[in-house]
Each structure stands twice: as structure tokens, then as C-alpha cells.
Amino acid sequence: MYYDPFVLPFTIGLTALLLFLIIKYIRWIRTFRKSERRKIRKGIFSLKTLRSIGEIFSECLLHRKIYRTNPFLGYMHTCFGLGWFLLIVAGKTESMVYHTSAVNPPYFAIFFRFFHPAKETFPYSNTFAFITDLLLLFILSGLFLALAKRLWSRIVGMRKTTKHRPLDLLILTTLWLIFPLRFLAESFTSGLRGGGSFLTNNAGEFFARFLPLEQLTYPAWWAYSGVLGLFFILLPFSRYMHIPTEIVYIFLKNWGIKQGTKFNAFSEIQMYACSRCGICIDSCQLNSSLGMDTQPVYFLKKIRHQKEYGHLIENCLLCGRCEASCPVGLTHNALRLAKRPDLSRITKNTYSYAKNAAAPAKMAYFAGCMGQLTPAVTRSMEQLFKQAGVSYTFIDKEGGVCCGRPMLLAGNREEAAVMAEKNRAILKASGAEVLVTSCPICLKMFREEYGLQIRIVHHTEYIDELIREGKLKTVPSEQRTVFHNPCELGRGSGIYQAPENILKSISRKIDTAFDGKKSLCCGGSLANTSIDGKQRNRIAGDAAKAYAAYKPDVLVTACPLCKKTFATASDIPVKDIAEVVAERCRP
Amino acid sequence: MPTLWGYSISAARSIDYDKNDPLFRRWLAIASPSSQLCIGCGGCTAACSAGNLTEFNIRRLQMLVKRGESRETAEQLHKCMLCGKCLLVCPRGVDTRQMILSMKRFLREHDQ
Ligand code: SF4
Ligand code: SF4
Ligand code: SF4
Ligand code: SF4
């Protein structure tokens, strides 16, 4: 039997950690709704589980998504994730080959170099020694980068890194000590009795020249086991809870569990799955333009550690930029919304004044409240409908009931539902089979909350179709255009191609670093009720400047609210895509 | 007395400090500082989605609160759809949506 008292800290720590995790996860999942638990049962024995394992490999070990932010940062995470994992696998395999049995205690593999008499060889013993040394070197190189990141974050492409709590710094130190101590323990042992490979062997010989290895080796193993045990014990109370929780989150996500309207156990799982990598900080314009610490990393951290977070609930544009950049793929908009209280107090009669009627037509056009404030947009749309020869009914031409999304973004879901009911009735009365909206905010609401069985498109998609079907004849121009994709259109509704097609066909569209998912928020978002007009203006100004750097003749957007917000903050003209097309249309 | 000096007091235009409750007003001034910037131009009401087809008048409601008369506000405020049009037209930069949300919160907290 291989045993030595120094393995105790490690073994106790690991056992305590595993027990804690099992109890915690079971308690969380037990509070899930029945339908969700059914999804889990169905999902376990399906391809979804395999897909999850693939995702766990590429995200939790390789950290593929972090490479998008910066290759050095990605490499650093790969070193810790994949490096440690492979080290464990290699160690375990080695111990099994040596021991010719799979059921040796976990500590035996971890402290293999201590128990294995170096002179005794076994199949591939040199190869194993080489591999584990190589992996250790790999991890140590990542550690070096991590140190550099603490001192100078720009090395890994980050302007700001997360501010951590003292306990987190303690456990960070513990984590960082693990691998140097392993290196020392193995090197000392090798210096004393031989063994190891290119790294530990040479280091051992080097240390033997001036260190009393006889006295140092055994304490080094104690120290290595001690920091491992301490790390395991501290893990549940620190941000490293993200390591096991991210794995659980990936499974649950792939099995079909979604963040609902309440902050529940699944939200807590998301909260614990945040690694506090801080990537969301740089992506958030409330940070870059206003220097505010309201990003998911701080929001979730405050909730988790029971700090006052009320002021952060409203201070978010729900622009989705952090969500798009988060390597763990957490659903931040839904999480923030789940914390907004529902103060609804209306009844169905509140909107009885609006008629449940609309002129019948195959296609219904809904300008929305914001569309009403930008007559240039609605005029252009009506012109385009006429030129394309499509019959339509303008259901809120004389005003109407708001789509309800601004209400929903404020947390008042019940009131939003009442508005939705009203608009559903009006739409039904029109008998329309297609609904075209000018405002992406309305679009998202109609698509996601109305449960309509008809086709719902934004005017960018509709115009794109009309052009491609040849119903609209456009004349190309030499105008230089830059497209600002509104948050609710791009990240919110996944519409990227239609505006691209349109602008490429009628103008010289310039590509920017803010295309697609990376588009900037105009700052006008109704989701944030915490910042004031001046602050909105600063965000809008910074965003407009970023687009203006590409020297376009016109900044094109596709949302009446974005247009309005940019109008006062931009030096170059701002137009809706509908206006630009209307100008380039042959009558 | 007033008639003696050649003018009269219109009840609709006067603020009766004996009867009015300043609590809501004071609270609003803190919860929504930008509401203090209002000059009563009525732009918000002209743009208002809810006021488009009804008597709902957001300018009037906030004026009443500032006068210490919250009853009508309590009755009417829920008609606002929070659409944000008023926010975009206000020439003074009053954060109307935030103001309305604050008012709603007050009403909820004071059970009105
Ligand atoms: S929310 Fe995502 S991006 Fe932000 S710190 Fe957490 S894991 Fe990183
Ligand atoms: S949704 Fe936008 S505003 Fe909110 S935290 Fe994320 S990046 Fe910042
Ligand atoms: S937010 Fe309310 S008060 Fe303002 S315009 Fe919309 S409905 Fe009217
Ligand atoms: S538009 Fe602004 S300044 Fe004018 S009444 Fe409304 S809140 Fe007051």
C-alpha cells in the first residue's frame, strides 16, 4: 500500500470539495420546474450530451472563444485548463501502467514521483516522464503570462481587468503556488534519487549543487499537497467555483434549459459559472464612455456575495455586447431583466380606447412609437411600398398602443402582456399574413412575446427581398456608407445579412471593426433608466466618432431610436436605411 | 379680501399648502432630479402615445405632483406605456421615463 501522511491535506480537500459540489448541484436542480427536469432526463441520453462534451473540451479546456479576444489571453487559459487536465490524465495513465490497476487512490497518481522509486523502470516510463515534464512547463509558461497580466494587463489585450476581493486574491495565490511547488517537489526528488525528465531532472541536478535536498524534499511534498488541499477547500467560496459550474451550465444549456423571467436556481448556476475573466468590461460602453462598473462581472459578483446591487439592475443598456463577448456564453440580458421588479397595475380596460380595427390587407406595417417620431422613415417606407406595388395597411398610422417592449424592459411584464393582447387583436382584425416593422425593438417584441403565427420581418429584410425580387429598381451611387447595426436588430434578432446586401447594392459600403456582432450601442436604449441625458449623449458621441473615423458620407442605421439618438451627437448625417433606399429608387 | 384688491384666486391655479401633501414632490425631486428641469412646455404630452387617443396628459400629472396633488396621478399614471417618446422630444432633457418609473415606485410603496 502506497501511503504517506502528507497526502492527507490533498485527499481531505478533494473529498470535501466533491461532497460540497454534489450536494449543491442536486439542491439547485431539485428546484427546477417539472418541465425542465423532464428536458434534462430526455437530454441525458441524446446527442446533446455528446455535443456538450465537445463544447466542454473546447471552452473549459481549450478556451477557444478567449482567443477571439486575444491570442495571449487564450493561450494563458489553455495552459491552465488543458494543461492541468492533460497532466492529470497523463499522471493517472502513468500510475495505472505502473500499478497495472485502475483502482489506485487519486493521490497516488498526483504524487506519483514521490511513491515511485526512480530507478525502477516500467513500460514507457521515460515517455511518461517526458510528457508530464512538458505539460508542467506548458502550465508554468501560462503562469508567467498570468503574472504579467496582473502587472500589465495590456500584454494580453485587456484595457481593464476585474477588481477582485481579498479572499479571491488569496485563492489566486494558492492556485499560482500549486505548479511551482509541484515543480520544486519533483525536482528535489529527482535531484536526490534521479528520475524525471528534461525539466525536473536538470532542475534537480542544478538545485542539488547548492541546496540541502535531504531536508527540503519531504517538506516540499507537504507544501504541494497542502496548497492543493487549501485550493479545493477555498474553491466553493471563490470565483473558481466557475470551473465545475461552467461544466454543469454547458450540459443544462444544451439540454434546453433557458433563463426564464425569474431569477432562479438556473440563474445562480449562471452566476457561479462566470469566471470573472473581465472580458465583458472592455466590451461595455458604460465602461468605455462613462467609466462605470456595472458589467455582468460586477453585477453577478455583487449578487453572489450579497453586496448592494440594486443600483446596477437598471444601469444597463441591455445592448448585448457583453453577452456576445462572454466566453462562457452566459445570457446576461435575461439575467439582468429577471432582477427587474414587475410593478404592473393595469387592467385590460386600460387600452379600451384604441379601436380593435385596421383596414384589411395581406401585409401590415407597424411604425411603432419611435417610428412615429421619425416621419422621414415612415414616409420612405410608404414610398417604397407604393413603388413596389404592394398593398399594405398602416396599422398605427393614427397612433396606437406601444408594442410593449419598453414596458417589458422596465420589468413590467404583465402590463406588456396587456399591450401585446391589444395589438394582437388589431393585427388579427387586419387579416395580415406578414407584419413589417420599422423599429427593431417592436420586431423583437412581436417575434418573441406575441406568439403570432404570421411572418414578422424588419423593414431591412423586407426591402432586401423587394430589391432581390426586382420589385424595387435601385440606382447605385458612389456614396460612402457605414452601417450601424442596432442592438435589437443584430445581436437581438440576428439580422446581419439584409442591411449588408442592401447597402452593397446601392452604395459603397465601408467595412468597419464594428460590423456584425461587434456593433456599438447608440446609447439611447430604453432599457437603461439610470443614466441621464448627458451621459447618453456621451455614449452616442463616442459611438458616432468611432463610425465617423471611417469617413463615410452618411452613417446609416435601421432603427428610429438610434437615428434620433445619433442625430444630436454625430457630425456626419445620419439616415435610416429606408431613407437611403428611397433616395436611390427609380420611380 | 383678495377681491378688495382687484384680483381673485382661481382654485385650479392655486396651491393650497394646508391641504396638499408635499411628500411625493420631495421624494420625486430626489428620485428623479431631472424632473426639476421641466418648464411645462407640453412637448411630452404632444408626442405621447397614450395621450394620442385619450385625455392622458403626462405634463399635467407631473405638474400635479409638484403641486402636492397626487390623487389624479395615482389614478392615471398607469396609462403611460413607457414607450419613451416623451423622453426624445423633451427640450429640457427631463428623463421622463425614469421620472414616471420613479413615480410608479412611489405609488406602489405608498399603496396608492
Ligand atoms: S460575465 Fe462572461 S465575460 Fe464577464 S467576467 Fe464573467 S465570464 Fe468573463
Ligand atoms: S448589456 Fe451592454 S450596457 Fe449592459 S452590461 Fe452588457 S455591454 Fe454593458
Ligand atoms: S413614455 Fe408614457 S408618457 Fe411618455 S410618451 Fe410614452 S406613453 Fe406617453
Ligand atoms: S417636454 Fe420636458 S420640459 Fe416640456 S413639459 Fe414635458 S417634461 Fe417638461
The 3-class SS string of chain B reads: CHHHHCCCCCCCCCCCCCCCCCHHHHHHHHHCHHHHHCCCCCHHHHHCCCCCCCCCCHHHHHHHHHCCCCHHHHHHHHHCCCCCHHHHHCCCCCCHHHHHHHHHHHHHHCCC
pLDDT on residue A77 = 92
Q: How far is the CA of A489 from the CAs of A386, A499, A550, in angstroms? A: 25, 10, 22
- Name the residue with the closest Cα to ligand 1, atom 7: A274
In 3-state terms, what secondary structure has residue A241? Answer: helix
User: In this structure, what are the phi and psi dihedrals at residue A512, rounded to the nearest 5 degrees?
Assistant: -130, 170
Residue ranges of chain B whose CB lies within 8 Å of a chain A CB: 34, 47, 49, 52-54, 78-79, 81-85, 87-89, 93, 95, 97-98, 101, 104-105, 108
Instruction: Give the residue whose CA is nearest to atom 4 of ligand 3.
Output: B86
Residues of A in contact with B105 (CB under 8 A): 343
B70 min Cα distance to partner chain A (Å): 17
Read off the C-alpha cell for A267. Answer: 440563474
Residues 6+ apart with CB under 8 A from A331: A258, A259, A270, A323
Q: Give the separation between CA A467 and CA A387, rounded to whole angstroms.
A: 11
d(CA A403, CA A417): 9
C-beta of B103 in contact with ligand 3 (< 6 A): no
CB-based contact B78:B68 (threshold 8 Å)? no
The interface predicted TM-score of the complex, written ipTM, equals 0.87
Contact B93 A533 (CB under 8 A): yes
Per-residue pLDDT 10s for chain A (587 aa) are: 689 999 999 999 999 999 999 999 999 999 999 999 999 999 999 999 999 999 999 999 999 989 988 899 899 999 999 999 999 999 999 998 888 777 788 899 999 999 987 778 888 989 999 999 999 999 999 999 988 888 877 766 777 777 777 888 888 899 999 999 999 999 999 999 888 899 999 999 999 999 999 999 999 999 999 999 999 999 999 999 999 999 999 999 999 999 999 999 999 999 999 999 899 999 999 999 999 999 999 999 999 999 999 999 999 999 999 999 999 999 999 999 999 988 877 766 777 766 667 788 999 999 999 999 999 999 999 999 999 999 999 999 888 889 999 999 999 999 899 999 989 999 999 999 999 999 999 999 999 999 999 999 999 999 999 999 999 999 999 999 999 999 999 999 999 999 999 999 999 999 999 999 999 999 999 999 999 999 999 999 999 999 999 999 999 999 999 999 999 999 999 999 999 999 999 76
Domain boundaries, chain A: 5-240, 258-338, 363-464, 476-583
Q: Give me the torsion for CA of B55, B58, B62, B65, rounded to 10°.
A: 40
Domain residue ranges in chain B: 21-109
Count how many Cα atoms sit within 13 Å of the Cα of residue A253 in the half-sphere of its side chain.
19
Which residue in B50, B59, B80 sits closest to A345, CA to CA? B80
Count of beta carbons in the 10 Å neighbourhood of residue A114: 21
The hierarchical CATH code for the domain A363-464 is 3.40.50.1860
CB-closest option in B52, B82, B88 to A410: B82
Asked if B79's CB is within 8 angstroms of A350's CB, the reply is yes
Q: What is the pTM of this model?
A: 0.91
Architecture per CATH, A476-583? 3-Layer(aba) Sandwich (3.40)
| B30 Cβ contact partners less than 8 Å away, ≥ 6 residues apart | none
3-state secondary structure at position A482: strand
What phi, psi does A367 have (nearest 5°)? -80, -35
Contacts of B93 in chain A (CB under 8 A): 532-534
φ, ψ for residue A364, nearest 5 deg? -110, 135
Give B47's contacts in chain A (Cβ within 8 Å).
Answer: 373
Tell me which CATH homologous superfamily contains domain B21-109. Answer: Alpha-helical ferredoxin (1.10.1060.10)
Are A99 and A93 in contact by the 8 Å Cβ rule? The answer is no
Q: Mind listing the pLDDT tens digit for each residue in B80-109?
A: 999 999 999 999 999 999 999 999 889 888
Distance from the CA of A311 to the center of ligand 2, in angstroms? Answer: 14
Decide: helix, strand or coil at residue A492: coil
Contact (Cβ atoms closer than 8 angstroms) between residue A440 and residue A498: no
Site to substitute for ligand 1 among A282, A328, A336, most atoms within 8 A of C-beta: A328
- Bridge partners of A365, per DSSP, are A394, A436
